[in-house]
Amino acid sequence: MSKHSDLSAEIIEMPIGREMPIETLEARLDVTYNWGYEKSRQDLRDLYKKAQRSQWQPDITLPWATPVDLEKPQYPEELFPLHGSDIYRRMTEPEKTRLAQEMFSWILSQFLHGEQGALLAASQLVVSVPDMDSKYYASTQVFDEGRHVEVYDRYLHEKIGFSYPISPYLKKLLDLILTDSRWDMKLLGMQIMVEGLALAAFGMIRAQTNEPLLKKLTHYVMLDEARHVAYGVLSLRNHYNDMKEADKLEREDFIYEAAVLMRNRFLYDQVWEKVGLPVAECKQIALDSMSQQLFRQMLFSKIVPAVKRMGLLSDRQRHRFEDLGILHFESWADPFEDLERETADADQLVA
């Protein structure tokens, strides 16, 4: 078992806390100079150049004057976690509308908080990764993540009008990533797990939403996220080949534990509590919902192929992924294919 806590329970009971404006974590981090400045990683140098060419400006690129009608559902009703349940059937139309607004705000709030976590992790990578090409690329991601925090914060507070605190499941995962002193664990946790899930989630939102500002915002964020996942895979794809078995097992445990945290993150505890619905019952309905099961599984469609490519999909891990219902993604598209497709589509943006 890894040094991380065992997170393998079906539903982890975690208290819903109050969001604090400022929080400080104590983290140990090695600062690595590279005085040789060698160009040793052409693949990462190419990705760095691609990032330079792909920068976009939120104030210019996105149509912020677009009105957002919160009375209209932002995604199909059939995807609501409670859809089809007795609780949902008893709700009035105004109650359903309010619930849809709360869900919409909660989802985008978690993206906002995840992007801040990615901003902090990317800045740590600049400091800790050993080779210059990796430092160069990580520096572009810091700028990307700052832009993502900006656009989600602006959308939430200008278009929706309110936001949610960070999910305790997401907070626990970000804390594990940011306080781990090893650069490869930061790449594994943030670039592969968090960014891989975000890339899949953004793809589903872009496909489902009819709101033009959010669709365009999501498209541009996805252009950046595809590069971020590619950075993680490029950096780690050969890193674990000669690693001691005990150390590889620790990485596998972390991946599985992170997967459980991210799965449980989408049980919407905070929404049920805010609107006055029975939290435990609603969490169970969301866990059992076929549409939500499919949604949660699809979140791992980018992660599992990346884990396999890095050599961290052992027989033991395969059994655990099978229990989570995500093993079948091992044969899905490599994240690099997403990078190439998203980049090729950059000039064909949504109206």
In the chain, the domains with their CATH numbers are 42-55+76-347 (1.10.620.20)
Check whether 5 has a pLDDT greater than 80. Answer: no
Query: What is the tens place of the pLDDT at every residue in 319-349?
Result: 999 999 999 999 887 655 655 565 555 444 4
Whole-number Å distance between alpha carbons of 142 and 235: 17
How many CA atoms within 13 Å lie on the side-chain side of 305? 18
- Looking at per-residue pLDDT, the higher value among 19 and 165 belongs to 165
CB under 8 Å to 315, separation ≥6 — which residues?
none
More confidently predicted of 2 and 208:
208
**CB of 230 closer than 8 Å to CB of 335:** yes
Average pLDDT over residues 78-92: 92
Say how many C-beta atoms besides its own lie within 10 A of residue 348's C-beta: 7
Closest CA to 180 of 188, 169, 191, 171: 188
298: tokens are 């699809």
Question: pLDDT, tens digit, for every residue of 107-116?
Answer: 999 999 999 9
The pLDDT of residue 275 is above 90: yes
- 199-215, pLDDT tens digit by residue? 889 988 999 898 999 99
pLDDT in tens, 292-321: 888 888 889 889 998 998 899 999 999 999
- pLDDT at position 17: 41
pLDDT for residue 265: 83
Asked if the model's pLDDT at residue 11 lies above 50, the reply is no
